[in-house]
Amino acid sequence: MSRAQQANDRAAQFIIAQEEGDWDETSKAQLGAWLAECDGNKAAYWRLKHSWRKADRIGALGHGIMAAEQGNRRSRRRWWIPAAAAAAIMIAFGGVYEQWPQKFSSPHQTAGYETPVGGLKTVALSDGTHIQLNTASRVRTSVTARRREAWLESGEAFFEVAHREGAPFVVHVGDRQVTVLGTKFSVRRDGNKVKVAVLEGRVRVEELEDGRPVRSAVIVGGDIALAENAAMLVTSRSAQAVENALAWRQGMLEFNQIPLSEVVAEFNRYNTRQIVVTDADAAAFRIGGMFPASDPDAFVRLLRDAYGLKVVKSDSLIEISS
């Protein structure tokens, strides 16, 4: 990295840190020392600070800046929708949903939905699509005449997409997107890992780089696609696995000879009272069956009675050992 770039980066870091609130005497001294190193550092710092201050002017405009964007279709598509959607994000459930001015929101319907841990919720979009949100999940949506989009920000959701000619439904999950015309499928996001399970119809899963799809796979009813970073695994024709993966829609968890450690991780998604397996022998136990997701007590009772595992309960924790 060149000297100019280094100076610019460092200056930008200082300016950001200054605005953060935890700017104290130590940071101030660090900045002073760095500026005193050479006049080039001063040049970079003064220059960035100056233009960054000038950019404060847009703050005075408030949401008016959106209005300037309206004449420009392309930039509105690229920025306005995500910006509005992001701003409207999920506040709905905090009870402070912010209504956008009518003139901005009329051509679009953007909204955010979320569920707490253990929550299960179905929402209906204006186009007839239904989205069912699993535990601890967040989705925001944008529906227009030409394009229907949803962003799965965390958790898992089941989509029952109403067919509409010429208006694909796109689900964005991190750097992947799932495109459909009309089908039923679920998408789960777990950090970098994305899992798409299709109940009916066909969907296309694409991996994006800089906004352009670089790899894609078409998966059909009965398929499950597991994607992590650049890798994608498609397990085909396992209707049973898809049913298992979708049991949460009835508030149930279904397992087919899965190690206890993974079963416990599933339960912990749905409950704030976490289950911990304290030894490897117990963790390797294979479990099959169907359990209510919201009732970990019934599940650990079974572990104790049927498998003879030790269970220690407290208010916040359930410990399991062999």
Partner 1 sequence: MDDESLEDWFCREVLPLERSLTHFIRRNTRVADDVMDLRHDVYELAITGARKGLPDSTRAYLFTIARNHLINRAKRARIVSFDLVADLEAIDKDIDLLEAERHLDARDALRQVQAGLENLSPRVREIVRLRKIEGLNVRETAERLGIGKDAVNHQLMMGMKALADFMAGGPGKIVRPKLVRRRKKDAKP
Which amino acid, residue 87? A
Give yes or no for residue 192 binding partner 1 (CB under 8 A): no
Per CB under 8 A, contacts with partner 1 among 8-37 are: 8-9, 12-13, 15-16, 19-21, 35
The nearer residue to partner 1, 72 or 229, going by C-beta atoms, is: 72
Per CB under 8 A, contacts with partner 1 among 112-151 are: 138
| Site stretch for partner 1 (CB under 8 A), options 1-9, 216-224, 232-240, 293-301 | 1-9
Which amino acid, residue 86? A
* Residue 40 Cβ vs partner 1, minimum distance, rounded to whole Å: 4
Give yes or no for residue 73 binding partner 1 (CB under 8 A): no
User: Residue 251 gets which letter from DSSP?
Assistant: T
Per CB under 8 A, contacts with partner 1 among 249-268 are: none
Near partner 1 by CB under 8 A: residue from 28, 50, 73, 103:
50
Which amino acid, residue 254? E
Which burial class, exposed, middle or buried, applies to 88 when counting CB atoms under 10 A from its CB (0-12, 13-18, 19+)? Answer: buried
Token reading at 250: 């009835």
Distance CA 285, CA 130 (A): 37
In angstroms, the first-to-last Cα distance of the chain is 56
Give yes or no for residue 208 binding partner 1 (CB under 8 A): no
* Residue 17 Cβ vs partner 1, minimum distance, rounded to whole Å: 9
Q: Identify whether the C-beta of residue 146 lies closer than 8 Å to the C-beta of residue 117.
A: no
Q: Identify whether the C-beta of residue 232 lies closer than 8 Å to the C-beta of residue 217.
A: yes
| 15-49 exposure pattern, b = at least 16 Cβ within 10 A, e = fewer | eeeeeeeeeeeeeeeebeebbeeeeebeebbeebe
**Position of tokens 């979320």?**
114
Give yes or no for residue 1 binding partner 1 (CB under 8 A): yes
> Binders of partner 1: how many residues, by CB under 8 A?
52
Q: Give the binding site for partner 1 (CB under 8 A).
A: 1-5, 7-9, 12-13, 15-16, 19-21, 35, 38-40, 42-44, 46-48, 50-52, 54-59, 61-63, 65, 68-69, 72, 75, 78-79, 82-83, 86-87, 89, 138, 153-154
